[in-house]
Amino acid sequence: MNPTNSRSNSHPLNINGVQRHLPLFKVQPDLAIAVLNILGDTELTEAAAAALQQRMANIDFDVIVTAEAKSIPLAYALSVHSGRPYVVLRKNYKSYMGEALSTETLSITTGKTQTLYLDAKDRAAIQGRQVALVDDVVSTGSTLAAMRTLMTQAEAEVAAVAAICTEGNAEQWAEVIALAHLPVFPITA
């Protein structure tokens, strides 16, 4: 791998004045990505939520929607900053979720198909409403596509898409309100 800074095998990230060095993780034989994991990182999560709230201040939306699991702290913090509720699309069905809607997505980090579920209670909360889809990183777009599918099924309208980072082809993510862009890292011998 070609390190992008003096810290071997990491990539620098600055979000609203908070600096992190993201470890590089091999996802294919010839490709690595910089891994952003905000779980347990309150400082970075708060900095990102505050910055996204500023960038989204003029967008009319009613509910924040995110997919389980790494972006839940961001959705929560953005909910606190914006005063809007949030909904989590789950990866496992539980009987208390009632008549849940579901769709599949392929994760770049696991390389496996996953199912996202929108439970009956949350479906009622977003039906006919304007939603902001929120993720930590938009990379391949698979999770985003699955989230959009569920919003269509639930008769909710996507008013905005926001993320801490986009990854890969920056032009592909022009619609995403993002605070930074992460390159992908070809692995050379």
Region class of 111: left (phi > 0), else alpha (psi between -120 and 50), else beta: left
Q: Rounded mean pLDDT of 73-101? A: 93
Q: Rounded mean pLDDT of 90-109? A: 83
User: Using only C-alpha atoms, what is the Rg of the chain?
Assistant: 17
Residue 136 banded pLDDT, cuts 50, 70, 90: very high
Domain boundaries, the chain: 10-183
Entry pTM? 0.89
Residue 4 has pLDDT above 80, yes or no: no
Q: Rounded mean pLDDT of 63-90? A: 95
User: Which pLDDT belongs to residue 6?
Assistant: 38
Class of domain 10-183: alpha beta
